[in-house]
Amino acid sequence: MKISLPRRLLVLSLGLTVLTSAALAADTPPAVYDVRAYGATGDGKTIDSGAVNRAIDAAAAAGGGTVRFPAGTYVSYTIHLKSNVALYLDAGSTIQAAPQPTGGEPGYDLAEPNLFQGKDNVYQDYGHSHFHNSLILGENVENVSILGPGRIYGHALFRDGGTRPGEGNKAIALKLCRNVTLKDFTLFEAGWFSLLATGVDNLTLDNLHVDTNRDGFDIDCCRNVRVSNCTVNSPRDDGICLKSSFGLGFARATENVTITNCSVSGYDMGTFLDGTYKVTRGMGGTGRIKFGTESNGGFKNITISNCIFDHCSGLAIESVDGGIIEDVTVSNLAMRSIANAPIFIRLGHRMRGPADTPIGTIRRVSISNIVASNVSSGSAILIAGTTDHPIEEVRLSDIRIIYQGGGTAAQAAINPPQDERQFYPEPGSLGVMPAYGMFARHINGLTLRDVEVSFTKDDVRPAVVLDDVAGIAFDHFKAQRTAGVPVVVGTNVRDYTVQSSPGLAEGHLDTLGAAAAAVK
Cα(258)–Cα(198) distance, integer angstroms: 17
Mean pLDDT value across residues 188-197 = 97
Complete DSSP assignment for 54-67: HHHHHHHHTT-EEE
CB 161 within 8 A of CB 100: no
- Residues in Cβ contact with 83 at an 8 Å cutoff, skipping those fewer than 6 apart: 60, 64, 141, 142, 143, 144
Instruction: Say yes or no to pLDDT of 145 above 60.
Output: yes
Complete DSSP assignment for 253-284: -EEEEEEES-EEE-PPTTTTTTT-----STT-
| Residue bearing the bigger pLDDT, 356 or 134 | 134
Note the pLDDT of residue 493: 97
3-state secondary structure 129-198: HCCCCEEEEEECCEEEEEECCCEEECCCCCCCCCCCCCCCCEEEEEECCEEEEEECCEEECCECEEEEEE
Instruction: Say yes or no to pLDDT of 288 above 70.
Output: yes
Beta strands 151-153; 186-188: pairing state: parallel
Quick one: pLDDT band at residue 16, thresholds 50, 70, 90? very low
CB 212 within 8 A of CB 269: yes
Amino acid at position 247, single letter: G
> Three-state SS for 443?
strand
Amino acid at position 108, single letter: Y
Note the pLDDT of residue 27: 55
Least confident of 1-10, 118-127, 219-228, 420-429: 1-10
Instruction: Say yes or no to pLDDT of 120 above 70.
Output: no
Beta strands 488-499; 464-475: pairing state: parallel
Note the pLDDT of residue 123: 82
3-state secondary structure 37-50: HHCCCCEEEEECHH
Instruction: Say yes or no to pLDDT of 14 above 50.
Output: no
Cα(229)–Cα(262) distance, integer angstroms: 5
Query: Structure pTM?
Result: 0.92
Note the pLDDT of residue 161: 81
Cα(247)–Cα(193) distance, integer angstroms: 15
Question: How crowded is the C-beta side of 432, counted as CA atoms within 13 Å?
Answer: 16
Instruction: Say yes or no to pLDDT of 471 above 80.
Output: yes
CB 162 within 8 A of CB 168: yes
Mean pLDDT value across the chain: 91
Note the pLDDT of residue 417: 87
Q: Burial level of 251, CB count in 10 A (0-12/13-18/19+)?
A: buried
Q: Burial level of 90, CB count in 10 A (0-12/13-18/19+)?
A: middle
Cα(160)–Cα(321) distance, integer angstroms: 22
**In sequence order, what are the beta bridge partners of 449?**
397, 475
Query: Which tens digit of pLDDT belongs to each residue from 476-493?
Result: 999 999 999 999 999 999
Cα(412)–Cα(65) distance, integer angstroms: 63
Note the pLDDT of residue 496: 97
* C-alpha distance across the termini of the chain, in Å: 108
Instruction: Say yes or no to pLDDT of 150 above 60.
Output: yes
Question: How crowded is the C-beta side of 44, counted as CA atoms within 13 Å?
Answer: 6
- Residue 408: phi and psi, rounded to 5, are -110, 170
Cα(306)–Cα(372) distance, integer angstroms: 13
Note the pLDDT of residue 350: 83
Query: Which tens digit of pLDDT belongs to each residue from 22-43?
Result: 444 445 556 999 999 999 999 9
Mean pLDDT value across residues 425-444 = 92
Query: Which tens digit of pLDDT belongs to each residue from 52-102?
Result: 999 999 999 999 999 999 999 999 999 999 999 999 999 999 999 999 988
Cα(88)–Cα(185) distance, integer angstroms: 9
Cα(367)–Cα(296) distance, integer angstroms: 23
- Residue 38: phi and psi, rounded to 5, are -110, 15
Mean pLDDT value across residues 225-240 = 97
Quick one: pLDDT band at residue 118, thresholds 50, 70, 90? low
In the chain, the domains with their CATH numbers are: 169-517 (2.160.20)
Query: Which tens digit of pLDDT belongs to each residue from 265-275?
Result: 999 999 999 99
Quick one: pLDDT band at residue 124, thresholds 50, 70, 90? confident
| Residue bearing the bigger pLDDT, 349 or 4 | 349
Note the pLDDT of residue 4: 54
**In the 8-state DSSP scheme, what is residue 464?**
E
Query: Which tens digit of pLDDT belongs to each residue from 383-421?
Result: 999 999 999 999 999 999 999 999 999 999 999 988 766
Q: Residue count of the chain, please give it.
A: 520
Note the pLDDT of residue 423: 66
Least confident of 119-128, 309-318, 465-474, 488-497: 119-128
Instruction: Say yes or no to pLDDT of 377 above 50.
Output: yes
Q: Burial level of 423, CB count in 10 A (0-12/13-18/19+)?
A: exposed
State what percent of residues in the chain have pLDDT above 90: 78
Other C-beta atoms within 10 Å of 413: how many?
9
Is the torsion defined by CA of 57, 60, 65, 66 positive or negative? positive
17's enclosing H/E stretch is: helix 5-27
